[in-house]
């Protein structure tokens, strides 16, 4: 039994009908919209930071992040690794590194935080925690040396830290900034 289709009194064979059906399905599929779930909460803009509200919970969060990233106390991974954790909007990390071994951790909790790192060293162990809004860290070391070990913790808003170079004085440098509207510039040259 042969199937025969008629459109406007014109006989169509099966191949033509299949082509027409495929074209119709293509246009129906191409015109459909895609919807996705969002985690935005318009009723409470700061709800993403509510679980990190007090100092005790901040310290607990930071200590678990630091412990998870390290293999052992004072040791680096035997490879190059960069760990990035971001909670909030418009956070940015630019990491350009050159090393044999590195363990780099960025944690940004808040909005519009920037970490811009351009470092060359044999071993890099760097941790940057930014909790709050509009915090920046710029770390530039164009001269390749043996080790680059820095721990930066910014808690508050509008904290700015700029690091240039590295030497024996800045080895295992720890910077803790708390409050608002502070700027630190550190220049290290041999």
Pairing between strand 10-12 and 5-7? antiparallel
Residue 116, Ramachandran bin (φ over 0: left; ψ between -120 and 50: alpha; else beta):
beta
Phi and psi of 70, rounded to 5°? -90, 145
Q: Is residue 170 over pLDDT 80?
A: no
Q: Where is pLDDT greater, at 3 or 149?
A: 149
In this structure, how many other beta carbons lie within 10 angstroms of the beta carbon of residue 160? 17
| Mean predicted lDDT score pLDDT of the chain | 75
| Mean pLDDT in residue range 142-163 | 88
Q: Is residue 108 over pLDDT 90?
A: yes
Per-position b or e across 5-21, b if 16+ CB within 10 A of its CB: eeeeeeeeeeeeeeeee
Query: pLDDT tens for residues 6-52?
Result: 555 556 667 777 777 777 776 666 555 544 444 444 444 444 444 45
Phi and psi of 66, rounded to 5°? -65, -40
| Mean pLDDT in residue range 86-102 | 88
Round to whole Å and give the CA distance between 130 and 93.
Answer: 11
Q: Are the C-beta atoms of 178 and 161 separated by less than 8 Å?
A: no
Reported pTM: 0.59
pLDDT of residue 134: 95
Round to whole Å and give the CA distance between 105 and 81.
Answer: 8
Would you list the DSSP string of 95-159? EEEE-SEEEEEEEEESSS-EEEEEEEEEEEEEEEEEESSS-EEEEEEEEEEEEEEEEEEEEEEEE
């Amino acid at each position: 039994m042969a199937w025969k289709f008629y459109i406007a009194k014109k006989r169509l064979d099966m191949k033509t009908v299949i082509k027409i059906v495929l074209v119709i399905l293509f246009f129906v599929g191409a015109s459909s919209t895609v919807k996705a779930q969002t985690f935005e909460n318009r009723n409470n803009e700061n709800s993403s930071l509510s679980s990190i509200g007090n100092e005790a919970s901040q310290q607990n969060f930071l200590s678990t992040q630091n412990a998870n990233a390290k293999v052992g106390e004072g040791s680096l991974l035997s490879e190059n690794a960069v760990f990035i954790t971001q909670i909030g909007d418009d956070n940015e990390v630019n990491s350009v590194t050159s090393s044999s071994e590195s363990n780099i951790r960025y944690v940004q909790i808040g909005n519009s935080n920037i970490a811009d790192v351009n470092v060359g060293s044999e071993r890099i162990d760097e941790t940057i925690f930014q909790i709050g809004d509009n915090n920046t860290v710029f770390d530039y070391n164009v001269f390749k040396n043996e080790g680059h070990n820095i721990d930066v913790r910014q808690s508050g808003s509008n904290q700015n830290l700029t690091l240039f170079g590295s030497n024996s004085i800045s080895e295992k440098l720890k910077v803790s900034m708390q409050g608002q509207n502070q700027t630190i510039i550190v220049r290290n040259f041999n």
